[in-house]
A and B are shown apart, each in its own frame.
Chain A
Amino acid sequence: MTETVLSVNHISKSFGGIHAVRDVSFEVSRGEVLGLIGPNGSGKSTLFNCVLGQLRPDKGDVHINGHRVANMRASHLNKLGVGRTFQQLSVFPQMSVLDNIILAGQEHHGTMASRLFGPSDAGLTEEADRMIAFFRLEHLRDEMAGSLSYGQQKLVDAAMAFMAGPSLVLLDEPAGGVNLTMLANLKERLETYNREHDTTFVVIEHNMEFVMSLCTRIIVLAEGAIIAEGTPEEIRSNQQVIDAYLGG
Chain B
Amino acid sequence: MSRKHILFAAIALLLLIFVPMGQKNYIIYVLTSWLMFSIAAMGLNLTLGYAGQISLAQASFMGIGAYITALVTLAGYHWVLGWIAAMGATFVIGLLLGYPALRVQHHFLAFVTLAFNTLVFLVLRNEEWLTGGSHGLVGMPRPDFFGISTGKNLEFYYFVLVLFVISALVFSWIVHSPWGRAFKALRENPVRAESLGVDTRRITLLAFAIGSAFGGGAGAIMTPLVQFIEPGSFGLIHSLKILLMVVVGGAGFYYGPMLGAAVVILLPELLRFTEGYYLMIYAAMVIVLMVYSPGGLIGLGHKIMARVRPKKEVRKDMAKGAQL
User: Footprint of B on A, CB under 8 Å?
Assistant: 73-75, 77-79, 84, 86, 90-95, 99, 102-104, 106-108, 112, 115-118, 120-122, 139-140, 143-144, 147-149, 151-152, 155, 160, 163-164, 179, 181-182, 185
Contacts and interface: CB of A to CB of B under 8 A. Distances in A.
B45 to A, nearest CB: 15
A62 to B, nearest CB: 16
Interface in B206-258: 252
A73 B188 contact: no
Chain B's interface size range is 20 to 34
B4 to A, nearest CB: 15
B187 to A, nearest CB: 8
A116 B202 CA distance: 14
A93 B179 contact: no
B16 interface: no
A90 B197 contact: no
B323 A181 contact: yes
Nearest to B314: A147
Nearest to B173: A116
A182 B324 contact: yes
A116 B177 contact: yes
A164 B196 contact: yes
Contact of A181 (B182, B193, B197, B324): B324
B181 A79 contact: no
Contacts of A179: 324
Contacts of A151: 324
Contacts of A104: 196
Given A74-B194, A94-B184, A152 B317 contact: yes
28 contacts: A73-B194, A74-B191, A75-B194, A77-B195, A78-B197, A92-B185, A94-B252, A95-B185, A102-B178, A102-B181, A103-B181, A103-B185, A103-B196, A107-B198, A115-B177, A115-B178, A116-B177, A116-B179, A117-B177, A118-B178, A120-B178, A120-B180, A139-B316, A147-B314, A149-B324, A151-B324, A179-B324, A181-B324
B315 A120 contact: no
B323 A99 contact: no
- Interface pairs A-B: 4 shortest CB-CB: A107-B197, A78-B197, A115-B178, A90-B192
Interface string B30-68: 000000000000000000000000000000000000000
A155 B193 CA distance: 17
A164 B317 contact: no
Contacts of B189: 90-92
B198 A116 contact: no
Contacts of A86: 191-192, 195
B200 A75 contact: yes
A78 B193 CA distance: 10
B177 A120 contact: yes
Contacts of B198: 75, 103, 107
Interface in B280-324: 314-317, 322-324
Contacts of A144: 314
Contacts of A107: 182, 196-199
Nearest to B316: A139
B279 interface: no
